[in-house]
Amino acid sequence: DSGVTQTPKHLITATGQRVTLRCSPRSGDLSVYWYQQSLDQGLQFLIQYYNGEERAKGNILERFSAQQFPDLHSELNLSSLELGDSALYFCASSLSPSAGAGTEAFFGQGTRLTVV
Amino acid sequence: QQQVKQSPQSLIVQKGGISIINCAYENTAFDYFPWYQQFPGKGPALLIAIRPDVSEKKEGRFTISFNKSAKQFSLHIMDSQPGDSATYFCAVGPGSARQLTFGSGTQLTVLP
């Protein structure tokens, strides 16, 4: 158990809908990263928050947004969903703003999103 | 631009053999090189990591070899076991982007 909690584990929704994925980081970790994993794209970095503020953006679509709350949990909002958004969404956390030695990134179990 | 290239895409090894997975990176600003192990339906789990100031790090049956001049690093799994069958990802970070960038993954199958 990495200590990173993601809910829900599975989500099935229709095209055009909006969903919210939730992540609770490990105790003491201030940084949260969101990744998307699909068969053809691998693990793609979406966005990072540190202590409530956005720190880095990757290949995140405009239809997607995220935030980190004062209690440090984070939510990833996906809207106007398309079939191609079906993927595993992972959250990771680390102590510092940068994942590195002494501040390793630990991943949650992921949310499997299926858009039908 | 693909910042890290991982090979092979898949690997089949006999029990007791050595599994070797390679990664090459572009940006010399990276200073952290971890390997993650992922089982089906699970999140990636940190396996072992290295900093560029050492050429090798060993933890149990897992060893990272690092070649700074060639900008390459590899994972060696000694005495491979069926329980090692999983997908392995190399990563680089954080550089200027702060987050980890992952390789495309290697699906390892260890035959009993």
User: Does the pLDDT value for residue A100 go beyond 80?
Assistant: no
Q: Among A43, A45, A93, A94, which would you mutate to test the B interface (most chain B Cβ atoms within 10 Å of its Cβ)?
A: A43
pLDDT-based confidence at residue A18 (cuts at 50, 70, 90): very high
Q: Does B45 touch chain A (CB under 8 A)?
A: yes
3-state secondary structure of A85: helix
Chain B residues whose beta carbon lies within 8 Å of the beta carbon of residue A35: 102
Tokens 């076991």 belong to residue: B81
- Phi (first) and psi of residue A89, to 5 degrees: -115, 120
Q: What pLDDT was estimated at residue A51?
A: 93
What's the mean pLDDT in A99-113?
86
Task: Give CA–CA dist B94/B82, Å, rounded.
Answer: 32
- What pLDDT digit, counting tens, does each position of A20-77 carry? 999 999 999 999 999 999 877 788 999 999 999 999 898 899 999 999 999 999 999 9
Torsion of CA A1, B59, A102, B39, to 10 degrees: -30
% pLDDT > 90, chain A: 78
Alpha helices of A9-58 — where are they, by DSSP H?
none
- CB contact (8 A) between residue A33 and residue B100: yes
Q: What pLDDT was estimated at residue B2?
A: 64
Q: What pLDDT was estimated at residue A39?
A: 79
The string over B25-59, giving b where at least 16 C-beta atoms fall within 10 Å of a residue's C-beta and e elsewhere, is: beeeebbbbbbbbbeeeebbebbbbbeeeeeebee
Q: Which residues, given as ranges, of chain B have pLDDT below 50?
A: none
The string over A6-36, giving b where at least 16 C-beta atoms fall within 10 Å of a residue's C-beta and e elsewhere, is: beeeebebeeeeebebebbbbeebbbbbbbb
Q: What pLDDT was estimated at residue B35?
A: 96
% pLDDT > 70, chain A: 97
**Residue B11's beta-bridge partner residues?**
B108
The string over A44-83, giving b where at least 16 C-beta atoms fall within 10 Å of a residue's C-beta and e elsewhere, is: bbbbbbbeeeebbebebeeebebebeeebebbbebeebee
